[in-house]
């Protein structure tokens, strides 16, 4: 469970196209890393996978995204249920100004998951899942914002796994953290990959190399000629650089024997 197939995805902010013809298979219970230069649409693509872009006015997609064979953008698709199944960890920890317990219990509460008072057990299980239980078990009533950034980010992960998702999206989860804390989160990701499909956006190529099974290289490129281009966009030809995935493969191969010249330039640091 937690298999994602993206087919010919185009994405628009208003009339501006941000992604064109993105296709990728994201296998279940593996870590897929999205790498690429800033502004190439990695985060935009990630936010398509749980429809968080729906909260931005004027966005639009073409193409299909299948989660276990079900089109998540099909009319009548349940967005609330989708977001429970596809959790998200953001760039900076974004805990609520509430206690540790209330933060982790938030999801189960709003989704009405535990009616029989098993909430405390569920919170404990989630905190154990995020390797945090021993650190916070005596501080469950403490304000979550009083913890260190690294602990806060792991609390965010605990909060996400509390709703028992199938997929966890991570948008540069370590960019606000120091190297030691980053390694901790990476260890945690490896553990989580036994149970969850993980998609991570990262600027840090070592991180992608260390932690992921699959790597997808994204880059701004001229829209392919056969890609359906929005007729309402009257940008001059050649000006239309949009983000797309130029190469996907096993992480080891991407970093050692990339087939695309641009990927090779990027992973060897010759890009730009």
Partner 1 sequence: MSKTTPTCWTEFAVEALVRVAGFSAIGFVLLIFLFLLREGVPAFFEIAPGNLFGTRWYPTFDLFGTLPLILGSALITVTAIVIALPLGVATAVFVREVAPGWAREILKPMIEVLAGIPSVVLGFFGMTLIAPLVRQVFGAPTGLTAFTGALILAYMALPTLISVAEDALDAVPRSYRDAALAMGATSWQTIWRVVAPAARSGIVTAVMLGMGRAIGETMAVMMVTGNAARMPVSLDSLFRPVRTMTATIAAEMGEVAAGSTHYHALFGIGIILFVLTFVINLTAASALFQKRRRGGLR
The residues that touch partner 1, with contacts defined as CB under 8 A, are 50, 52, 55, 80-84, 87-88, 90, 92, 94-98, 106-107, 109-111, 145, 156, 159-160, 163
Rounded CA-CA distance 21/242 in Å is 9
Output the smallest distance, CB 91 to partner 1, in A. Answer: 9
Output the smallest distance, CB 111 to partner 1, in A. Answer: 6
Nearer to partner 1, 163 or 193 (CB): 163
In terms of phi and psi (left: phi > 0; alpha: psi -120 to 50; beta: otherwise), the region of 128 is alpha
Output the smallest distance, CB 42 to partner 1, in A. Answer: 17
**Of 203, 200, 215, nearest in space to 251 by CA:** 215
DSSP-derived letter for residue 223 is: P
Q: Which runs of E-coded beta strand occur in 149-213?
A: 167-171, 197-201
Output the smallest distance, CB 123 to partner 1, in A. Answer: 14
Output the smallest distance, CB 99 to partner 1, in A. Answer: 12
Nearer to partner 1, 47 or 184 (CB): 47
Nearer to partner 1, 84 or 258 (CB): 84
Nearer to partner 1, 90 or 133 (CB): 90
- Return the axis-axis angle of helices 179-192 and 149-161, rounded to nearest 10°: 10
In terms of phi and psi (left: phi > 0; alpha: psi -120 to 50; beta: otherwise), the region of 68 is left
List, in sequence order, every residue forming a beta bridge with 250; answer none if it has no partner. Answer: 214
Q: Other C-beta atoms within 10 Å of 268: how many? A: 11
Widest CA span in the chain = 61
DSSP-derived letter for residue 36 is: -
Output the smallest distance, CB 152 to partner 1, in A. Answer: 11
Rounded (10°) CA dihedral 188, 194, 200, 205: 70
Nearer to partner 1, 52 or 127 (CB): 52
Output the smallest distance, CB 114 to partner 1, in A. Answer: 15
């Amino acid at each position: 469970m937690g298999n994602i197939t993206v087919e010919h995805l185009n994405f628009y902010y208003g009339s501006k196209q941000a992604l064109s013809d993105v296709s990728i298979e994201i296998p279940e219970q593996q870590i897929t890393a999205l790498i690429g230069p800033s502004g190439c649409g990695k985060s935009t693509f990630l936010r398509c996978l749980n429809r968080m872009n729906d909260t931005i006015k004027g966005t639009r997609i073409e193409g299909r995204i299948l989660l276990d064979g079900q089109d998540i953008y099909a009319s009548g698709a349940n967005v609330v249920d989708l977001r429970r199944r596809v959790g998200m960890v953001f760039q900076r920890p974004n805990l609520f100004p509430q206690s540790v317990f209330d933060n982790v219990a938030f999801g189960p509460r709003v989704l009405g998951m535990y009616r029989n008072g098993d909430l405390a057990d569920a919170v404990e299980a989630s905190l154990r899942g995020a390797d945090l239980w021993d650190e916070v078990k005596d501080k469950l009533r403490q304000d979550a914002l009083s913890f260190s950034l690294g602990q806060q980010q792991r609390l965010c992960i605990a909060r996400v796994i509390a709703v028992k998702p199938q997929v966890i999206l991570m948008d540069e989860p370590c960019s606000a953290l120091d190297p030691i804390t980053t390694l901790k989160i990476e260890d945690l990701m490896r553990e989580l990959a036994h149970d969850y499909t993980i998609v991570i956006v990262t600027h840090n190529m070592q991180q992608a190399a260390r932690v992921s099974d699959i790597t997808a290289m994204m880059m701004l490129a001229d829209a392919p000629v056969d890609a359906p281009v929005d007729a309402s966009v009257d940008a001059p030809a050649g000006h239309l650089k949009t983000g797309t995935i130029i190469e996907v493969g096993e992480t080891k191969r991407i970093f050692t024997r990339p087939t695309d010249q641009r990927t090779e330039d990027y992973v060897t640091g010759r890009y730009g």
